[in-house]
Structures are given as C-alpha cells and as structure tokens.
C-alpha cells in the first residue's frame, strides 16, 4: 500500500523520525535551527496528507489551501495558538497537540524563574562577572523569601496544578484563578479559588499558565501590575502576548512587581536590545519551558504518534478538534 506523504517543518529526534518513516513518506525542511520559511511550508504541503508543525509555523486558511490533500496537522506543542482550528474544522483537517508530556518540565522552569527572580541569581552572577562583588555587608543583594510566602497561579490546568504541587515543600499558602472554580484542583493541591484581582493583590508570587486566546491576549498590563504587591514576583511561562510587554517593562522600572521571570515574549525570538534585558530585576530565558532532552523527545514522538494514527485510520492519542 502507498504510504501517505507527510511534511515535517523540522528534523525530529530519531525515535519520532523512525516512527514516521515506518508508516509515511517523509518530506521535510531539513534544518535543525532555522525555521521553515513560509514559502517552503506552502510548497511542502502541496502533496502532503499530513503536516507536523512547530509553534513557529502558522497553520491558517492560506496554508490549508496550499495543501489540498491535508488530512492531519500534528502540532509539536501543547499550546496551539499558531493553528486556526476553525479553518481546519471547515476543511475537515484533524489537529492534535502534545498535552501532558510537557507539564512537569514546564512547571520546573516556572519554579526556576520564580527562585531566580526572587533571589536575584542572574543579577548576582552579572555582578561577579563585572568585578563588582565587594566584601559581605548586611543588605547586600537581598531578595524576597519564597518559603512561607503566598503563591497565586493564573490558569490551574495541567501546568498550573504542577506548579502548585511543587509549593508543598516551600510551606506556601496557595491560591489559583481559573475561568471557574475547580473542586478537584482544590482537593489535590489545597489551593483556594480567587477572583483575578484578589489573587493579584494578595499573592507574593504570581505565575501565569493560561493558554493564549482572544480572552487572555493582553490579560496582564499596567492595571494588573499596579494591583500586585510592590514585593511581588511575576512569572510567565505561558505565551508572550498574554502580557502587555511595554507595560511590564514600565512596571518593573517602577519596581512593582519587584521582579519577573519571563520565558515567553510578545514577538519571539527577542534580540539583545530588548528592553526587558536591560532591567536588573528581570530574568529572561528563550522559551525553554519544555526544553529537556526527555520532554522534547516525548513531544516529538507524541506528535508523530498522532500523525501516523490519523493517517492510518487509528485512534489518535490527543486530537483537538472534530
Ligand atoms: N513556556 C513553555 O515552553 C510552555 C510549555 C508548555 C506550555 N506552555 C503554555 O502553557 C499553556 C498551558 O498549558 P497546560 O497544559 O497547562 O494547559 P491546560 O489547558 O491544562 O491549562 C490551562 C488552564 O487555563 C485555564 N484558562 C483558560 N482561559 C482562561 C481565562 N481566560 N482565565 C482563567 N483561566 C483560563 C483553563 O481553564 C485551564 O485550567 C499552553 O497553552 C501553552 O501556551 C508554555
Ligand atoms: O506549548 C508548548 O508546548 C510550549 O510552548 C513548547 O513546549
């Protein structure tokens, strides 16, 4: 039987490539680092029945029109704001993401950013590198305590709950905000539901883990930062456009919140001149929430599994639509 043609916008870890090669004819943008240019993507899907996309690939009407044989788009990310689900539905194209496999790794990064921002880790290293470390004095490089403080998670889904679970060892009081209260979250984490403004004004640490949608775009701006405690730590591991970045810069310059840990940006990648990088109270990393060998490999194999399943008429593990 003829194998279905699939287009991959990047070479994937070997386990995923092997799984795909066994069931499909692979065509790909074979560059490990540079994203697949739009033109190459539109050409790439011309004969393809399946597409394996990354979060840097926009899947919209134009792309679907360029791929008239497409039956399945497997996104290698849990977030799927790069996909126009309605357009896929209209054209009968199935879509999947990679939920669950990124959860613990991304929650680890939220904690790494929280601790790094609260205890000024990057600033401290830069101080030493610049030869600025003088003799010990009482208020040298003082930060804020995480142990015993109050954590507020906005978006208590898979990652948000994993962030809350980690707080048990830190003796924290826990709050969460979701569209609606969730008794299961409360039972497993001990967190209390709070309206957004209440969470912002009462938390010592605010961690954002909502998906990017029409509802959450620009959810955090000057008003929300002004509600936070002056000593608050703000962490975003969700998506950049959830935060009005210029307003975050102004808020950090004014010292409220006191510090931030940021993994995701309005427009990625950012360059060395980005204003957040000029602020000593911002720890910024390049969208590495899920970046461990094990997790990126699991994401790739789950995406491959979804793609192969739909193209061979089997049940896919994590379909999003239809
Ligand atoms: N930085 C990274 O590398 C990285 C890694 C993985 C995921 N992410 C991002 O994290 C997001 C969350 O992933 P997840 O697996 O936890 O998803 P999830 O669907 O399990 O959880 C999202 C939660 O947000 C809530 N929510 C949605 N809209 C809301 C709103 N307007 N107000 C309040 N709550 C709202 C949902 O009810 C849900 O509980 C992804 O969509 C992705 O964008 C980033
Ligand atoms: O949505 C996701 O999965 C991340 O942004 C990349 O892991």
Ligand 2 midpoint to CA 139 (Å): 39
Question: What number is the average pLDDT over the span 14-38?
Answer: 95
Catalytic residues: 239, 268, 287
Cβ atoms 227, 183 nearer than 8 A: no
Q: How confident is the model at residue 294 (pLDDT cuts 50, 70, 90)?
A: very high
Give the number of the ligand closest to the Cα of residue 300.
2
pLDDT tens digits for range 173-215: 999 999 999 999 999 999 999 999 999 999 999 999 999 999 9
Question: What number is the average pLDDT over the span 156-168?
Answer: 98
**Mutation probe of ligand 1 site: the residue of 109, 154, 211, 217 with most atoms within 8 A of C-beta:** 211
Ligand 2 shell residues, CB under 6 Å: 55, 77-79, 102, 289-290
CA 287 to ligand 2: nearest atom? 5
Identify which of 54, 52, 2 has the alpha carbon closest to the alpha carbon of residue 23.
Answer: 2
pLDDT tens digits for range 205-263: 999 999 999 999 999 999 999 999 999 999 999 999 999 999 999 999 999 999 999 99
Q: SS3 for 302?
A: helix
Ligand 1 shell residues, CB under 6 Å: 78-79, 99, 102-103, 106, 155-160, 177-179, 209-213, 215-216, 237-239, 263-264, 287, 289-290
Ligand 2 midpoint to CA 270 (Å): 17
Ligand 1 midpoint to CA 157 (Å): 6
Atom 1, ligand 2: residue with shortest CA distance: 79
> What are the C-alpha distances in Å from 24 to residues 94, 272, 283?
17, 41, 42
> pTM of the prediction?
0.98
Q: Is the dihedral of CA 229, 111, 128, 292 positive or negative?
A: negative
pLDDT at 322: 54
CA 81 to ligand 1: nearest atom? 43
Kindly compute the dihedral angle of the four CA atoms of residues 311, 89, 219, 120, in this order, to the nearest 10 degrees.
10
Q: SS3 for 179?
A: coil
């Amino acid at each position: 039987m003829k194998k279905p043609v699939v287009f991959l916008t990047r070479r994937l870890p070997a386990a995923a490539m092997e799984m795909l090669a066994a069931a499909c004819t692979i065509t790909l943008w074979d560059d490990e680092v540079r994203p697949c240019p739009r033109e190459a993507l539109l050409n790439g899907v011309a004969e393809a029945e399946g597409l394996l996309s990354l979060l840097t690939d926009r899947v919209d009407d134009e792309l679907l029109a360029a791929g008239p044989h497409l039956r399945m788009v497997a996104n290698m990310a849990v977030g799927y704001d790069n996909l126009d689900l309605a357009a896929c539905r209209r054209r009968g194209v199935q879509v999947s993401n990679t939920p669950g496999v990124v959860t613990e790794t991304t929650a680890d990064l939220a904690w790494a950013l929280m601790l790094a921002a609260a205890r000024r880790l990057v600033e401290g290293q830069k101080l030493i590198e610049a030869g600025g470390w003088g003799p010990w004095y009482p208020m040298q490089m003082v930060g804020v305590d995480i142990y015993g403080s109050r954590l507020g998670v906005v978006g208590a889904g898979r990652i948000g709950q994993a962030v809350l679970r980690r707080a048990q060892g830190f003796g924290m009081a826990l709050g969460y905000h979701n569209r609606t209260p969730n008794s299961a979250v409360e039972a497993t984490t001990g967190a209390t539901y709070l309206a957004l403004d209440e969470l912002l004004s009462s938390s010592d640490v605010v961690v954002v883990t909502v998906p990017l949608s029409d509802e959450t775009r620009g959810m955090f701006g000057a008003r929300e930062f002004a509600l936070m405690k002056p000593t608050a730590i703000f962490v975003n591991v969700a998506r950049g456009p959830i935060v009005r970045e210029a307003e975050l810069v102004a808020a950090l310059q004014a010292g409220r919140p006191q510090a931030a840990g940021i993994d995701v940006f309005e427009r990625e990648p950012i360059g060395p001149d980005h204003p957040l990088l000029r602020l000593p109270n911002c720890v910024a990393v390049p969208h590495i929430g899920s970046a461990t060998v094990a997790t990126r490999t699991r994401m790739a194999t789950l995406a491959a599994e979804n793609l192969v399943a739909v193209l061979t008429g089997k049940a896919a593990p994590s379909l999003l639509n239809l």
